[in-house]
Amino acid sequence: MLMIGFGAGLITLGFVGIALCNYMEVERREDWVLVFQRAGASVTSFTLNLSSGRYFLGVSVWVHNYAEGFYSVLDANRTQVIILRLANTDQSSEWKYNEEYFEVIDSGYYTFELFNATFSSVRSTAQLLQRIYVDKFLYPYRSFFWIGVFFLVVGVPLVVVGSATSLLPNPKD
């Protein structure tokens, strides 16, 4: 009887291990992906087809004869989505770096333009990053499958042998 009970316990643990191995957890991760990058003269004006979402625009320009420069993002109707102002100083020539987050609600074409700044086409860059979410699927109990199979392989013969021995007549002297 003891062998049958022990075998049944192992079979139960085997089924639990196999059932747990399919348990899945979803981990949501936020990433920033480079959508677009421009350098040189192409920084002054460019048009992109953007999908809805959150974006990060980083602009690095070497300006000359600087006067209230700004970077403007316009939608297809020429409506301003965002103004990225370059920092104002007394220098006539220097690096201007600015970054801004903005939201695109409607997918479509957007124009990026630099205004009121004469800049060096050799040193200037613009980067556009988009925030995306990635679902990562984790199976933390995947290794329980082989443990469950082992318990089944050991438990079933124990139950069979224990049942067979209990059916045999007891020799009484």
The domain locations on the chain are 2-25+144-167, 30-132
Query: What's domain 30-132's architecture?
Result: Sandwich (2.60)
Q: State if pTM tops 0.75.
A: no
d(CA 117, CA 124): 12
pLDDT in tens, 29-75: 888 888 888 887 777 788 889 888 899 888 887 777 666 677 788 88
Q: Provide the pLDDT for residue 57.
A: 86
Residue 90 CB neighbours (<10 A):
6
Q: What angle do CA 90, 62, 130 make, to 5 degrees?
A: 115
